[in-house]
Amino acid sequence: MYPDFLDQPPFNLPLPTDEMLRIKRLARDLAYGALYKKWSHQFGLDLRRNLETIFKDNIAYFLEGHEDLKGFSRDLTLYLYHVWEGNIPSLETLAILGYLEDQNPQWKITSKAYSLLEEPNPQAIFISYRRQSSSALAMLIASELHRAGYQPFIDISNIYPGDQWHGLIEKEVKKSTVFIVVIGLETLEKSKPVREEIKWAVEDTQNRRIIPILHGGYSVDDLEATEFGYLKDYSLIPIKDDVSAEIESALSAIRMTLGL
């Protein structure tokens, strides 16, 4: 059984790789699920036990569509199983940070966890582009994300004098949960940095959403003729003509993809 709500934001967003962001993501998801009555604000899932044992003992029962067991929420268990695959942050750590209250044998979601719902979805967004051909569009996308409360990484505003830019860029790409690459004519041919950034991004697509945006007359056929033709299989957004209506449509597609 795969609950339909797991296909909706925030549950379907890629998991962050940074440990602190993973902790906040779990706390936020727990609060969101409780707020919308997917599970209670108190739950008795005893994660002090080995998670493999918990899933072995109960997941088959829930996958068959049965309702909650005593002390176990079906939807919460399926959420942990499908989204986190058992590799969740320590609930004791969430309690230390104030997101949960340990009421042994139960946990209670705290007001601090609910306050995370007032923040934008925890996303680390990287925007890759070639300055000569895509600066205007990349900056427009960054501005749109800023208005939504995000802080996307874009080199024109996030690299400062003295930074070791190559290592910094690689670090930012690899910690991103969303990688937006803006591709225009000659981007892939002439921009070594963009090619490197794409290769870093696709190293771990399980924890990263990749959004290629084609513009300036660059087509899917052009993309397929390159070594990066596989990008067409991601959440590709084509802009046939760089006119305001199509650009706004692309921004709308980005907002929808990110659940804004």
pLDDT-wise least confident of 29-33, 188-192, 220-224, 237-241: 237-241
Most confident of 31-35, 45-49, 82-86, 115-119: 31-35
Residue range 193-207, pLDDT digits in tens: 999 999 999 987 666
pLDDT for position 249: 87
pLDDT for position 226: 95
Q: Taking 70 as the threshold, does the pLDDT of residue 185 lie above it?
A: yes
Helix axes 244-258, 131-147, angle to 10 degrees: 50
pLDDT for position 228: 96
Q: Are 5 and 34 in contact (CB under 8 A)?
A: no
Residue range 80-132, pLDDT digits in tens: 888 887 688 888 899 999 999 988 878 899 999 999 988 766 678 899 999 99
Q: Identify the structural domains of the chain with CATH numbers, from first to last.
A: 4-118 (no CATH), 125-258 (3.40.50.360)
Residue range 121-139, pLDDT digits in tens: 667 889 999 999 899 999 9
This prediction's pTM: 0.59
